[in-house]
Structure 1
Amino acid sequence: MNFRVNWDAMGVAASLACAIHCAILPLLLTSLPVLGINIIDNEAFEYFMIVLAFGIGVYSLRHGYKKHHHSTLPIIMFSIGISGLIAKQIWHKYQLWILPFAVLLIVAAHLMNFRACRVHNHAHEDDCDH
């Protein structure tokens, strides 16, 4: 059986998980500190999510660029999005303004990469993974 991981789908999922964590979790789980659990504004968790999104994104976008579409636009969008995630950690009081744009750019980069990989015409099949 040939099992393949869709890294773009994982990138979108990681980005959306990050967005849900940052936007919805504070509204729904305000009782966690009472239980001794703090993942809201937990700096280590925030950086872990950024590193996770970065790792998945670099792998999937690099693969799409090298093996399929050779377009730098998804890489540029992703880089700006990741920079936004880092910026929201540095300028924490502006995170509600920075975060939506950062996540949208990351998700859009993965979707663009995914679509570009699917429409690629495999003119050079010797170096493309199907």
Structure 2
Amino acid sequence: MENIFKRMNLDTLGIGASIICAVHCALLPLLFAALPLLGMEITEHAILEYCLLLFSFVIGCLALGLGYWRHHRRLMPLLLFIAGFALLLMGHFWAEAVVLEYAAICVGAGVIMAAHFINQRQRHSCKVHKHH
């Protein structure tokens, strides 16, 4: 199992998950608005939302936790991830206005991507291990 984590770049997977989340949040309302015009109705997409949040959280914890413990011991990526995920949760569960909801979700996804980028950069520039 540990061998899989060494070969797989979890930060790239986390960035991809954040991009998928942002695209999902931007395009899904447009798709739902267009579906009644096409004669289709889908009203419940909460399971997809929860799955994306869970996937983003698990990948973020793995990538940033492993980066912290194995490579750089810097808190900035972890703190950014916590802040970004808090914004995602606020947008999904506590925002009362639609504009605030989308703003919190988009900013949260961007902060999570920044955490992964910083973690990836710090993993490759650490002084403890020799990277090629």
TM-score, length of structure 1 as denominator length:
0.82
| 1: CA distance, partners of 2:35 / 2:67 | 40
Asked whether 1:78 is paired with 2:84, we answer: no
Distance 2:12 2:29 in 1: 25
User: For the residues of structure 1 that align with 2:101 and 2:65, how far apart are their CA atoms?
Assistant: 28
Higher fraction of helix:
2
Q: Which runs of 4+ in 1 moved over 6 A?
A: none
**What corresponds to 1:95 in structure 2?**
101
Structure 2: gaps (5+ residues): none
The equivalent position to 2:63 in structure 1, one of 55, 60, 64, is: 60
CA distance in 1, matches of 2:58, 2:35: 29
Percentage identity across paired residues of the two chains: 33
| 1: CA distance, partners of 2:27 / 2:41 | 19
Map 1:1-130 to 2 at 5 A.
4-28=7-31, 30-32=33-35, 34-37=39-42, 42-92=45-95, 93=97, 94-122=100-128
Residue 101 of structure 1, CA deviation: 1.3
Secondary structure class of the residue paired with 2:77: helix
* Offset at residue 31 of structure 1 (A): 3.7
Offset from partner CA, 1:47-100 (integer Å, 9 cap, x none): 111110000000000000000010011000000111111111112432122112
- Segments of structure 1 that go 5 or more residues without pairing to the other structure are none
User: Is the CA contact (8 Å cut-off) linking 2:92 and 2:101 kept in structure 1?
Assistant: yes
Amino acid at match of 1:66: W
* Count of residue pairs the alignment pairs up: 123
